[in-house]
Every structure is written in C-alpha cells, then in structure tokens.
Amino acid sequence: MAEINYELMREILFTNEEAFTDINIKEAKIILRTCKIARTNKNIKFIYDKCKIDIYYKQIMFLSIKKAEKEFNENILDETSGATNLNINKKYKRKVYNIIIGLLKENDDVVEGVKEKLVAEQKKNINKYFIKLHVKLAIVGAYDNIIDDDDAETFENDDKYNDVQFEIVFIITNYKFNAYFLNMLSKTLVNEKDVISYISSKYFTDNWYRIPIIFPENHCKNYNDGSTGLLA
C-alpha cells in the first residue's frame, strides 16, 4: 500500500476556497500553524484582514477621542460655530504617522477596510449630531411655550440643555480629529497644513456635515485660495 501523503492532503484541505467560511481568528491561527500554505485561502485571509482592520480602527478611534477629550474646553459650550485651535502638535502628529506607517505596510484590502470603517464612523457622528440638535431644539421650544418668566429659568442655565450642547460640541471636535487622520491617509492631493487650517476654520465648523468626508483633490487648497463650490 502506498504511503499516504499527509502534506498533500493538508494542502488540498486548507487551500479549498469553499472551506472555513465560519471561523474566528483563533481558529485561523491554529490552522496556519498546521499548514502555512493555508494563508492563501481567501476565507482565512479575510479573517486575518478583518482582525487587522479592527485593530487599526480601534487605535485610531482611541487616539481621536483622547485628543478630543484633552483639547475640549467646557468654556466653549456656546461656541458651536467659529474657528478653533485643535492643537495638532508634533506629539499628536507622531502618533498619527506611526499608525499610518504601520497601516500602509498592510495589503490594500486592510487599508481600504480601515478607510471604510472611518467613513462609516464619520457618518455616524453626523447622525448623532442631528439627533442631539433635535433634542436641543426641543428644550428651547419647551421654554418658548412657558409664558410666566418668573417660574422658569432661561434654557442657557438648564443642565439638560448644557449637557446636550456639550455633547454637540464634542461630536464636532471628535469629527475634526477623525477628518485629519482620514484625509492624511487618503490618496487625494492634500497638504497637511491646508488640512489643519481647513478643519480648524469657522467655515468647516459651520459646514462640516455637508462637506465630503474624504476631501476631493486640492479641496483644502482651493478653500484657502477663496474658491467657491466646495460643498458636495
């Protein structure tokens, strides 16, 4: 009887594109330790790529949120419109660059997967903004219906109103830091100084939810040159 070629059997099994459609990253690692050629299996590759995408995405979200928390100033609760100093300094830039450098060493599927998750996050922030805005307007409307001024405080002194206003400004601030990262990662022709100036401007603060999430080619430069027609 001919000797069974177990190596060949493993190769046939683990390179089968129809197999391993429902495995997790731990199982994928075990399979790769058993047969390295399994890395060519598209389903196993997908699991690895998805894991990497999630890791990079969480790193970016953590960095943006922590930076927003650090730079956010409760004294600007009523300043939802205006130019802001985001303090994108060398220390913060270095952290952003380190993530981008690591990400760009990955395959295109991972890079594009991270971009897609970031774009989805920005869209969620826009939705959160409008939800909070409706809550804010409802609070203001409730005070408008109160006739006796002696029995009501102005909504500016209302804790619920201030909490919502705080959340609105924080959403905008976090969105700006995400926009910085995402557009520095994009392949469009953007200059870092132009991006920072743009997302810090009063114009961006007023129109951020209407502006393309990934800035088109030369978008920031055209803005700085005073061009019009920038909205999507």
DSSP sequence for 59-102: HHHHHHHHHHHHH--GGGTT--SS-------HHHHHHHHHHHHH
Question: What's the domain range around 207?
Answer: 53-224
Same-domain pairing of 13 and 57: no
Distance from C-alpha of 85 to C-alpha of 83, rounded to nearest angstrom: 7
Same-domain pairing of 35 and 61: no
Which two three-digit tokens encode residue 70? 């650090």
Select the more confidently predicted residue: 201 or 142.
201
Number of domains forming the structure of the chain: 2
3 state DSSP class of 17: coil
Q: Is residue 232 situated within a structural domain?
A: no
| CB-based burial label for 166 (10 Å; 0-12, 13-18, 19+) | middle
Average pLDDT of the residues in 100-123: 95
Same-domain pairing of 25 and 63: no
Instruction: Provide the whole-model pTM.
Output: 0.78
Select the more confidently predicted residue: 29 or 69.
69
Same-domain pairing of 28 and 113: no
Length of the chain, in residues:
232
For the chain, the average pLDDT equals: 79
Q: Is residue 45 situated within a structural domain?
A: no
